[in-house]
Structure 1
Amino acid sequence: MKHTNDKLLHSIAARLKQLRTDRGYTQEEVTDQTGVNVGLYEIGTTNITVILLTVLCNFYEVTLEEFFHNMEYEK
């Protein structure tokens, strides 16, 4: 059985894009510096792994708790 939560995927995508743009990075710069192709995840159709999300959170200097704070998702 496949589990999906489109609202959560889109919330994660929006947060990733917000963190990147707030810090003045392009997708290419983040990909070059982290090895994570953020463009795949910022569109909200590809599920990111916890490991890759941790890499990006470390790069943006936020904790996972801060990343998910007040994030909306379908229960």
Structure 2
Amino acid sequence: MSQFKNHSLNNAIALKIKELRVNRGVTLEIFYFDTGIHLARIEQGKTNITVSTLKRICDYFEINLEEFFKGLKIKKEET
């Protein structure tokens, strides 16, 4: 079964994650050491992130999923 990819959504999520990480002064290396999650490909929008992984990322930054998605700007995908 193939996965559906919404590039606009992936990019918006990637930018938000990077913003959270940078604003808190956390490097990719520190984040990986603390969580075991490689953020580099996620932050580049190349990975179709799972909800479970996003929840773990939000937990690390001490926000909930509702806060994460609030204000997220997603462009409409062309069909």
TM surpasses 0.5? yes
For 2:33, the equivalent position in structure 1 comes to 32
Distance in 1, matches of 2:37 and 2:3, equals 24
Distance in 2, matches of 1:46 and 1:9, equals 8
Give every structure 1 segment of 4 or more consecutive aligned residues whose post-TM-superposition deviation is greater than 2 Å.
1-4, 72-75
Percent identity over the alignment? 37
* Contact persistence 2:5–2:48 (CA under 8 A): no
AA of the residue aligned to 1:33: D
Distance in 2, matches of 1:60 and 1:26, equals 13
For 2:46, the equivalent position in structure 1 comes to 45
1:1-75 matches, within 5 Å, as: 2-73=3-74, 74=76
Which residues of structure 1 form unaligned runs of 5+?
none
Which residues of structure 2 form unaligned runs of 5+?
none
Give the greater-gyration-radius structure (CA). 2
Size of the aligned set, in residue pairs, is 75
* Contact persistence 2:14–2:45 (CA under 8 A): yes
Q: What secondary structure does 1:12 align onto?
A: helix
Distance in 2, matches of 1:35 and 1:4, equals 24
Q: Relative to total residues, which structure has the larger helix share, 1 or 2?
A: 1
Cα deviations by residue, 1:44-73 (Å, 9 ceiling, x for unpaired): 111111111111100001110011112122
